[in-house]
Structure 1
Amino acid sequence: MPDLLPALGPWLICALAAAVGCALQRLAGQGFGMVAAPVLALAAPEFLPGTVLLTGLAVGAGSFVADRSAVVTRDLPPGFAGRMLGAVIAAWIAARVVGTPALPLVVGGVVWLGVILSVAGLRLGPAPRVLFGAGTVAGVMGTLTGIGAPPMAIVYADVEARRSAATQNVFFAFGMAVSIAALTVAGLIGLRHVAFAATLLPVIGATLWLVRPWAVRVARGRIRPWALGLAATAATVLIARSLIGP
C-alpha cells in the first residue's frame, strides 16, 4: 500500500507552496496552481495531480464565498461548458502521462504556457464564444496540472479588479470540481490524494482568513509579477531536474 502522506520535509514545502498560492489566488483570482503544482511535482510528485486539484477546490470555493457579491453571473454558463469539455479531453491525456517521467515535463510546460499567456498582453473580453474557448483551454490545463487560471485571466484582464478576481475564483472552483470528477472516473484520484489534501486544508483555511483584510487594499498589478516570477522559477527548476536528473 503506498504511503498516504509524504515525509515531513516535503510536506512542509508543499504546505508553504499551498499557502503562498492560496494567498495569490484569493487576492488576484489566479496563482494557486501555478505555484503549488510545480513545487508539488518537485517535492511529492506521486501526489500529482489529484492533491493540487482537491486543495484547489477548497481555495477557489473559499475565495468565491468571500467575494460572491462581485461575481458576474452571466459569464458563467459558457465558461462552465468549456471547462467541462476541456476536463474530458485532459482526463484522456492524463491517463497516459500520470505516473510516467513525462508528467513533470507536462507540468513545467503548462506553467510556462500560463506565464507566457499571462504576459502576452492579449485583450479578448468576456464574450460567450471567448469564454467557452478559454474555459476549454483552462479545462485541459487545469485537469492535467491544477493550472487553469491563465486563459481566464486574459479574458478578465480589463475588468475591474474585485469583479475579475471573484468571477475567476468561481471558474477556478468549478473547474477544480469538474477536473476531480473527470480524474476520479479515470481512476487517477485515490485515498492518498484525499488524505494529503485533508492535511493541507487547515493551512488553506488559515491563509484565506489572514489575507482577508488585504483583499480590498492590494492592487492586482502589484501581485501579478511576484506570482509569475515564482511560477516561472519553480517550472524552470522542475524541467531542468526532469531533463538532467536530481
Structure 2
Amino acid sequence: MLLIFIGSFVQTAIGFGLAIVSAPLLFVISPSYVPAPIVIVALFVALLNAIKYRSDVSVGGLKLALYGRVPGSIAGGFLLVMVSSQMLSLWLGLLVLFSVVVSLLPFRIDPTPTRMGIAGFFSGFFGTSSGIGGPPMALLLQHQEANQLRGNLAAFFVFSSIMSLIVQIPFGYLTLHHLWITIPLLPPAWLGYFIARKTTHSLPKDKIRYGALVLCLVSGLTAIWQGIMG
C-alpha cells in the first residue's frame, strides 16, 4: 500500500511513474502483484487524471500510438508465458533502469506519427508483460506543457491499460485472485492522487522528478538483484 501511494503520487505529479516506482518491489513481495494488479491500479489513477485534465487531452495525436499498442500488448502477453518469474524480475529491473536513462536524456525527440506508432507498440509490449508501459510514450511527450503531458499520458494509459488487461485474461494473468488482491491497493492510490493534487503546485517539479528517479533506481536494482540471485 505504501509503494502504491508513492507511485500514485509520482504519477499524478509528473504524468507517469506508478509502475516504475512500485512494480519491481511489489514483485519481490509477491509475483502475483505484477502485472495485472499494477495495471488495474494504473488504470484507476489514469482515469482520475484523465478526468482532471480532460481539456488538455489531444486524442488525435494519440491515435497512432493506440494502434501500435494492440500488437505490442499481444506480444507482451506471449512473453509472460515464455519466461520464468526469475527472468521477469530481471526484466522488470532492466526496464526501470531504462526508464531512468530515458528520463535523463537531454535531447528532444519530436513525436512524429511513425514514432508515436513505434512508442505505442513498445508501450504495449512493456506494459502487458511488466505493467511498465509509460517510458516510451513519456520519452516522446516529455517536453509538452505540464498539464498537457499529464492529460495526454493519462488518456493513453486509460485505453492502453484496458488493452493490457484484456490480453492478460487468456494468458491467465488476470483472474479473480488478482482482482481480490488489488482491492486494498485502490485507497492508497486515491490518497496519493489526492495529496499530489493538493501539494505539487507548491513543490518544484524537478525535485519531485529527481526524487522519483532515485526511488526508481533503488527499485530497479532490487529487482535485478532478485532476478540474478533467484
TM-score by length of 2: 0.93
C-alpha distance in 1, partners of 2:226/2:189?
28
Q: What is the alpha-carbon distance in structure 2 between the residues aligned to residue 87 and residue 155 of structure 1? A: 19
Deviates more, 1:134-143 or 1:205-214: 205-214
| SS at 2:169 equivalent | helix
Distance 1:53 1:127 in 2: 27
Q: Secondary structure at the match of 2:172?
A: coil
Q: Which amino acid aligns with 1:85?
A: P
Say which of 171, 182, 185 aligns to 2:170: 185
C-alpha distance 139-121 of structure 1, shift in aligned 2 (>3 A)? farther
Output one character per residue of 1:96-145: Cα deviation in whole Å (capped at 9) or x when no partner: 12x53211111111111222222223422222111111111111111111
Aligned residue number for residue 119 of structure 2: 134
How far did residue 244 of structure 1 move? Answer: 2.7
Corresponding position: 1:201 with 2:199: no
CA distance in structure 2 between the aligned counterparts of 1:64 and 1:220, rounded to whole angstroms: 19
- Judging changes above 3 Å, is the alpha-carbon distance between structure 1 residues 42 and 61 closer, same or farther for their aligned structure 2 residues? same
Q: Give, as a single letter, the amino acid of the residue that structure 2 aligns with 1:75.
A: G
1:26 to 2:12 alignment: yes
Give distance in 1, aligned partners of 2:146 and 2:203: 10
**How far is the alpha carbon of 1:23 from its aligned partner?**
0.7
Tell me how far 1:207 sits from its aligned partner.
2.2
Partner of 2:141: 156
Q: Which moved more, 1:26-35 or 1:216-225?
A: 216-225
Matched residue, 2:198: 213
Shift of 1:217: 4.2
SS of residue paired to 1:142: helix
Aligned AA (2:117): F
| Structure 2 contact 88–227 (Cα < 8 Å) conserved | no
**What number of residue pairs does the alignment pair up?**
230
When structure 1 is superposed on structure 2, of 202-211 and 226-235 the one drifting more is 202-211
The sequence identity of aligned pairs, in percent, is 27
Alignment of 1:227-238 (within 5 A): 227-238=212-223
Question: What stretches of structure 2 of length at least 5 have no aligned partner?
Answer: none
Q: Structure 1: how far apart are the matches of 2:62 and 2:54?
A: 13
**Structure 1: any 5+ residue segments left out of the alignment?**
1-14
Distance 1:241 1:34 in 2: 16
* 1:1-246 equivalence runs, <5 A: 15-97=1-83, 100-245=85-230
Aligned-pair CA distance for 1:215: 4.7
- Tell me the TM-score normalised to structure 1 length: 0.88
